[in-house]
């Protein structure tokens, strides 16, 4: 069988053979047949639909930004299902994105200084890339209500890890949000009512003042990162790199603009 290839940088990117294969996911009331798919520029309308369902207005990526990312070699995977119980058609219910880059764990100072530089580069991936800079994970609220959120996460992340290995990557870098720094209640239909965690806020504030170190255990106080770590990774796989200042992503009000860098070895 001829290997699938896509050109995203100075070298062609082989596509993992698991992408596009049928997957059955079972929810509280019914099961759905779906698949992990490679998303392209042609999918931007439905990427935007999902973006609006899953992200608060201040951090949504615009159509122009998504297109610019694709044009610079960024990649996206989605999870679509047949006969969606709301729309009665193939529907994109989850997606994630990454770009190929070069990363050395012993040189954390080389990582981008803000989310714009991390997610939206003005250059193509280097030919010697060895890492995936993952950003953005979206799952439809209706799918989460159906109890399918973790299954969708598991399938798209496993496909991303397989894709990285197929392309010779050694690392996946993550930039988890710290929702509980301020908490999120303004848009409950999108993010739910995530309360502020005073201990999380204290840990970040003291670290920023140089009064203590911010650790992986501090970051794992955030419920979303805790779910990802428990659902997607093996014990001890997630490595903490550094806490980023409030200039990391100022539009992210629940997180206070702060960011965290973590990684796992592939």
- Count Cβ atoms below 10 Å from residue 153 Cβ, excluding itself: 20
What CATH number did the domain enclosing 73 receive?
Answer: 3.40.630
Same domain, 26 and 92: yes
Report the pLDDT value the prediction gives residue 186, as an integer from 0 to 100.
Answer: 77
What does the DSSP 8-state code read for residue 194? B
CB atoms within 10 A of CB 36: 26
Q: What is the pLDDT of residue 89?
A: 53
The residue segments making up the domain with residue 7 are 1-101+121-175
Rg of the Cα trace of the chain? 18
Task: Give residue 1's pLDDT.
Answer: 45
Query: So what's the pLDDT on residue 88?
Result: 44
Instruction: Give the count of domains, the chain.
Output: 2
Q: Please give the Cα distance from 35 to 29 (Å, whole number).
A: 19
Question: What global pTM score does this model have?
Answer: 0.91
Considering the domain architecture, whether residues 164 and 202 belong to the same structural domain is answered as no
- The DSSP bridge pattern shows strands 22-26 and 31-39 to be antiparallel
Cα distance between residue 251 and residue 255, in whole Å: 9
Q: Which of 175, 191, 209 lies at the terminal end of a domain, its last residue?
A: 175
Task: Please indicate, yes or no, whether residues 190 and 129 belong to a single structural domain of this protein.
Answer: no
- pLDDT at residue 190, as a whole number: 67
Output the pLDDT for position 152.
94
CB atoms within 10 A of CB 48: 15
Q: If the chain, 266 residues long, is cut into consecutive pieces of 10 residues, what is the mean pLDDT of each piece? A: 55 79 89 93 95 92 96 96 61 95 96 97 93 94 90 94 94 94 80 86 97 95 84 87 97 95 95
Q: Is residue 112 part of a domain?
A: no
pLDDT of residue 8: 58
CB-based contact 176:219 (threshold 8 Å)? yes
Q: How far apart are CA 100 and CA 8, in angstroms?
A: 9
């Amino acid at each position: 069988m001829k290997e699938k290839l896509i050109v995203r940088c100075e070298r062609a990117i082989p596509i993992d053979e698991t992408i596009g294969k049928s997957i059955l996911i079972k929810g509280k009331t019914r099961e759905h047949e779906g698949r992990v798919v490679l998303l392209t520029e042609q999918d931007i309308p439905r990427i935007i639909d999902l973006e609006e369902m899953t992200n608060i207005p201040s951090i949504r990526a615009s159509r122009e930004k998504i297109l610019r990312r694709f044009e610079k070699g960024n990649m996206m995977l989605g999870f679509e299902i047949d006969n969606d119980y709301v729309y009665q058609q193939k529907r994109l219910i989850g997606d994630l994105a990454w770009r190929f880059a070069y990363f050395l764990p012993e040189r954390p100072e080389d990582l981008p200084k803000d989310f714009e530089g991390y997610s939206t580069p003005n250059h193509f991936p280097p030919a010697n890339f060895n890492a995936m800079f993952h950003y953005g994970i979206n799952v439809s609220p209706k799918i989460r209500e159906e109890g399918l959120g973790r299954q969708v996460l598991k399938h798209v992340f496993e496909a991303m890890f397989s894709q990285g290995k197929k392309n010779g990557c050694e690392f996946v870098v993550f930039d988890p949000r710290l929702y509980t720094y301020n908490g999120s209640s303004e848009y409950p239909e999108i993010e739910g009512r995530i309360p502020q965690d005073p201990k999380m806020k204290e840990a970040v504030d003291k670290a920023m003042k140089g009064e203590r170190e911010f650790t992986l255990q501090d970051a794992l106080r955030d419920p979303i990162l805790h779910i990802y770590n428990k659902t997607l990774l093996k014990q001890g796989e997630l490595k903490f790199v550094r806490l980023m200042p409030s200039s990391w992503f100022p539009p992210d009000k629940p997180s206070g603009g702060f960011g965290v860098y973590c990684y796992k070895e592939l």
